[in-house]
Chain A
Amino acid sequence: MGTINSAFNLISSALDADQSALSIVANNVANASTAGYTREVPNWQENPPVQINGASYGTGVTETGPTSIRDRVLGQRLVQQQQLASSSGARLSALNTLQALFTPSSGSSSATTGEIGSDLTGFFDSFASLESNPTNNALRQQVLSTATTLAGDISNAAASINSQRSALDQEAAGIVSQVNALTGSIAQLNEQVQTVSPNADAGTLEDQRQQDILQLSQLVGINQVTTENNGLSITTTSGQLLVSESSNFSMSTGEVDGVTHFFLGSTDITSQLAGGGGELGGYLTTRDQDIPTTLGGLDQLAYSVSTSVNAQNNSGTDLDGDAGNAGNIFTEPTAIAGSAQAMRVVMTDPNHIAAASLTGGTGDDSNAIALAALGSQATVQGQTPINFYSQFVSTLGSTVSEAQTENAAQNASVTQLQTQIASLSGVNLNDEASSMQQFERSYQAASEVFTILNTIMASALNLGVQTAVS
């Protein structure tokens, strides 16, 4: 009887275990399209044997709960790449807006900030035209007209850059509440995972936590440190603690010198966040580095053009006979910073353009020649105004191009990792070995493509003779 009961128990135990395993499979299928869901597999535990009449009998198996097939190494690599891609994406978007301001004929309908290069040429050419007939009122009016266009476009460009900076500032500040919500959620999930983890697989909870971590990494650069019982501590990439197991530390904002700064406790972490990844890192890199650099270049141009032209105009004689005191054409800047947005034409009377030299009569054109020559003199940080502006635009273009390259590569990397994680952890039929084999074949083929193209293109560009790979 005991033997029959034992046999029955053994069968019953196996059936229960099978039923439990089927539930896990059904759960896998039901969650096939759930973002972040990790496939679970049943765990089987052999039951302790039963002694009957001195003989030992096995009593079957029990299903002891699912274990999720997730890989932390891949997960962390994905988080790392995701935060870089988010950062470069946010930065690229902002840089594209910035670059559009300096692209000819691509500004908004009310602004022509992209025409600053031709404005500079037009302005200095108007002095060259005045040389031929220095007393001509229409030509004098033309000088003031081209000056107004130039000053207007530079000032509008600077105003647009400052507006963009304010908008980025608000975007960055808005991220903080999302970061705090996610770190709060991760801390709660940490507590739940740690409670479950010593005795069972906390699959669903860990999936939720991983989803939160991925979202967090899109917002801000983070590092993860694993603690006891699958707990997690999360820091910013520069080491400030955001989550420590079941506790989270909220980020706050405050205004410093007119822009939003970010704090953890009383520590200002703004500069660390700027290079740290996530959208916040991208926004802050643009707000605190790219925009100031661009605005600084424009300020330098406005300052140098204004001061050199004003000085030269005050070195001649105007049509009213004022010698050495004809007045300024542009607002005279007191400092480089802010010169661009403040740039205006202050001269209203074209007769005050000093076309003549100090000693020449009012019909003299010597100072008009000197004013025209400013266009081809190295008055802006050792360069002519046109060359300085060309390099300014070119530098901005290179920055955008580099951000594009970075972002394209990082997005590609994220796509690759998501594909691999799906094949290893998601609910599908790919097995790991064939997935790895596929990846390696792709890598080998890409290696061949890249090696050939890199070599033949370098040869074509640098040598111009030997082109093919031997």
Chain B
Amino acid sequence: MYPLKQVIEDASQALATLDTDRLEELAAACRGLNRGLQTASADSLTQFAQEAEEARPDLAILSRIFDATRENLRVLHRAQERRRSGHSSGYLQNSAV
């Protein structure tokens, strides 16, 4: 069984390198995990809770990378808009990105 910690580490790595295929695989795996937990035994849930505890710092990292990605995407959209409006090589005046 693929440990939860490893799933999260892989997601962080894939998000950093924008490995879309890997992220989509992991999303499918998480949907499967979620379905499995709905019918899991008490022992399995206890084991999952232990894994979740161990993986908590890794989820914090993924969360921060996710936040940074959202901000990067926002900046990319701004850049795209600027290029579309003909400011492809212009500097932003006093810009704080």
Residue on B with the closest CB to A412?
B16
Residue on B with the closest CB to A406?
B64
> Do B18 and A411 have beta carbons less than 8 Å apart?
no
Contacts of A294 in B (CB 8 A): none
Kindly identify which residue among A68, A410, A452 contacts B34, using a CB–CB cutoff of 8 Å: A452
> Do B61 and A409 have beta carbons less than 8 Å apart?
yes
> Do B19 and A448 have beta carbons less than 8 Å apart?
no
Interface size on A, residues (CB 8 A): 60
> Do A408 and B89 have beta carbons less than 8 Å apart?
no
Cα–Cα distance between A71 and B76 once the two chains are bound (Å): 10
Q: Which of B23-62 contact A (CB under 8 A)?
A: 23-24, 26-27, 30-31, 33-35, 37-38, 40, 45, 48-49, 52-53, 55-57, 59-62
With A420-B76, A449-B30, A460-B49 as contacts: A442 and B68 at CB distance below 8 Å: no
> Do A80 and B97 have beta carbons less than 8 Å apart?
yes
With A416-B69, A460-B49, A468-B38 as contacts: A439 and B76 at CB distance below 8 Å: yes
CB of A447 closer than 8 Å to a CB of B: yes
**Main SS of chain B's interface residues?**
helix
Kindly identify which residue among A405, A442, A452 contacts B18, using a CB–CB cutoff of 8 Å: A442
Residue on B with the closest CB to A470?
B38
Residue on A with the closest CB to B48?
A460
Cα–Cα distance between A469 and B30 once the two chains are bound (Å): 11
Kindly identify which residue among A69, A81, A408, A467 contacts B37, using a CB–CB cutoff of 8 Å: A467
Contacts of A456 in B (CB 8 A): 33-34, 37, 48, 52
> Do B97 and A73 have beta carbons less than 8 Å apart?
yes
Contacts of B26 in A (CB 8 A): 445, 449
Minimal beta-carbon separation of B36 from chain A (angstroms)? 8
Kindly identify which residue among A408, A441, A446 contacts B64, using a CB–CB cutoff of 8 Å: A408
With A77-B72, A416-B72, A441-B20 as contacts: A457 and B56 at CB distance below 8 Å: yes
Minimal beta-carbon separation of B12 from chain A (angstroms)? 7
Residue on B with the closest CB to A73?
B79
Cα–Cα distance between A452 and B32 once the two chains are bound (Å): 10
- Which of A10-18, A50-58, A140-148, A223-231 faces chain B? A223-231
Cα–Cα distance between A439 and B63 once the two chains are bound (Å): 17
> Do B48 and A467 have beta carbons less than 8 Å apart?
yes
With A80-B97, A226-B92 as contacts: A453 and B59 at CB distance below 8 Å: yes
> Do B95 and A419 have beta carbons less than 8 Å apart?
no
> Do B57 and A76 have beta carbons less than 8 Å apart?
no
A63-100 vs B, Cβ < 8 Å mask (1 yes, 0 no): 00001111111101100110000000000000000000
> Do A412 and B34 have beta carbons less than 8 Å apart?
no
Residue on B with the closest CB to A446?
B15
CB of A436 closer than 8 Å to a CB of B: yes
A285-305 vs B, Cβ < 8 Å mask (1 yes, 0 no): 000000000000000000000
> Do B24 and A445 have beta carbons less than 8 Å apart?
yes
Minimal beta-carbon separation of A180 from chain B (angstroms)? 24
Kindly identify which residue among B34, B40, B63, B95 contacts A450, using a CB–CB cutoff of 8 Å: B63
> Do B97 and A409 have beta carbons less than 8 Å apart?
no
Kindly identify which residue among B27, B68, B75 contacts A409, using a CB–CB cutoff of 8 Å: B68
Contacts of B33 in A (CB 8 A): 452, 456
Cα–Cα distance between A84 and B39 once the two chains are bound (Å): 44
Q: Which of A289-329 contact B (CB under 8 A)?
A: none
Contacts of A171 in B (CB 8 A): none
Contacts of B48 in A (CB 8 A): 456, 460, 467
Cα–Cα distance between A67 and B83 once the two chains are bound (Å): 13
5 A-B Cβ contacts within 8 A? A71-B79, A71-B88, A446-B62, A456-B33, A456-B34
Closest 5 pairs (CB-CB, A-B): A409-B64, A412-B16, A445-B23, A226-B91, A413-B68
Q: Which residues of A contact B (CB under 8 A)?
A: 67-74, 76-77, 80-81, 201, 223-226, 230, 232, 401, 404-406, 408-413, 415-417, 419-420, 424, 432, 436, 438-443, 445-450, 452-454, 456-457, 460-461, 464, 467-469
Q: Which residues of B contact A (CB under 8 A)?
A: 4, 7-8, 11-12, 14-20, 23-24, 26-27, 30-31, 33-35, 37-38, 40, 45, 48-49, 52-53, 55-57, 59-73, 75-80, 82-83, 88-97
List 14 other contacts, CB 8 Å, given A71-B82, A412-B15, A413-B69: A81-B68, A223-B96, A410-B68, A412-B68, A415-B16, A416-B18, A436-B76, A438-B18, A442-B14, A446-B23, A450-B11, A450-B62, A454-B59, A461-B49
